[in-house]
Structures are given as structure tokens and as C-alpha cells.
Amino acid sequence: MKIIMLGAPGAGKGTQAKKIAEKYNIPHISTGDIFRANIKNGTELGKKAKTYMDQGALVPDELVVDLVVDRVAQDDAKNGFVLDGFPRTIPQAEALDAALSKINDKVDYAIDVDVPDENIINRMSGRRACVACGGTYHIVYNPTKTEGICDACGGKLILRDDDQPETVKNRLKVYHEQTQPLIEYYSKKGILKSVDGTQDMAEVFQCIVDILEV
């Protein structure tokens, strides 16, 4: 089962991607997480990516495509994967299709988690991320057991730089300009499935499971 998640930043696609990965025992591949890990470890890639991420801009295709193509070719992704945050541009989608078709494979589902912009801005201001493990929560929709402390590792929770209100507005603009065209791209391929992302987390997940298990 090869799945890609579409949706605006803050639509909840990361949370759903993790749940899909767990339920179907396939790797969750998040390009945002990969970049954040690189930033934390001070790598060259991390340094380059950070300048774009902090402004809410996309990291250039050439820094992200090879990384994902290599990752989906690894053994644990042979039977499936859920890609979260990739592709974000048409050239990225084309590169992924080309890499998969070389091994006679293809994306099975493109799941669009649909949430209007006004809800996104509201949601993002309540998002919190763990400085230690990168886990994400929401102060209203997905709170931790103890305020400000990560459930998974006990790390401190912060509002990420790229979740700051001005950056969020820019990320939404970038989303509409560069990523939204992918909806038509996958719709034309007949694999686009849309779910209403304004429902609560468990309901959204149930809709996704219903799509994957027809």
C-alpha cells in the first residue's frame, strides 16, 4: 500500500500518516521530520533547509527529491509506505512516479486532508512540538497529559518557528501556489481521495481506513 498524504500545512496529515503507518505496519516518511532531524544534528542539508523552512518557503526540489527516492527504495518500504509532506510540487510528484515506475510500481492512494484556511490558522497557533523527539500535539485537539511536556519522551513543548503566525500565512500561500496543483495531478490519475479534515482526529482516521479497505 503506497500512500501519499496531501493537504495544507496544519491540516493534520502528519497525525493521520502516523496512525496509518502504525495500523498497516508500513514506514511513515515525513520530509519535514527528516529536515528537522538534519537541523538538530547540524548537517549541511539541515543548514541549507533551515533558511527556507524558517521563512515558510519550500526547500528546493533538488535537495528533497533524491532523499525521498533513496528512502522509498529501502527494504522496509517495499510493501508500502505513507509519505507525509512529499510531494509538494509537480516536479517532485513526477520524480516520485518516475522512480516507482522504474521498479514497476506506483502510488496507490493520494489522500487529501481538506481543511479551509481559516481553520488552519486557528489550529497552527495551538500546535506544539517536542524539542527532543519532534512529536506534535495541539493544546485543544490533541493535548498532552501534562501541559507543556511531551507524552512520548518527557521533552519540553514549543511553538515551532515555522508555526509562528506570519510564517503560517506564507506557508499557506506557498501551499496554494505550489502544492495544490497536485490535487488535479492525482485526480487525473484516478487515485485522489478526499477526506473532510475538519472532523475530529478519530473520525478523519476512520474515513481514511474506509477508503483503504474498500
Question: Which residues make up the interface to ligand AMP (CB under 6 A)?
Answer: 9, 31-32, 35, 52-53, 56-59, 64, 85-86, 88, 92, 162, 171
Residue placing its CB nearer to ligand AMP in the complex, 26 or 129: 129
Q: How far apart are CA 84 and CA 206, in angstroms?
A: 18
Minimum distance of ligand AMP from residue 193's CB (angstroms):
20
Residue placing its CB nearer to ligand AMP in the complex, 177 or 210: 177
Does the annotation count 189 as an active-site position? no
Minimum distance of ligand AMP from residue 197's CB (angstroms):
14
Q: How far apart are CA 11 and CA 194, in angstroms?
A: 12
Q: What's the order of all strands across the beta sheet hosting 192-196? A: 28-30, 81-84, 2-6, 109-114, 192-196
Minimum distance of ligand AMP from residue 200's CB (angstroms):
21
Q: How far apart are CA 51 and CA 44, in angstroms?
A: 12
Instruction: Please tell me what DSSP assigns to residue 163.
Output: G
* Chain position carrying cell 485522489: 192
Does the annotation count 88 as an active-site position? yes
Does the annotation count 123 as an active-site position? no
Mind telling me the catalytic residues?
13, 88, 127, 160, 171
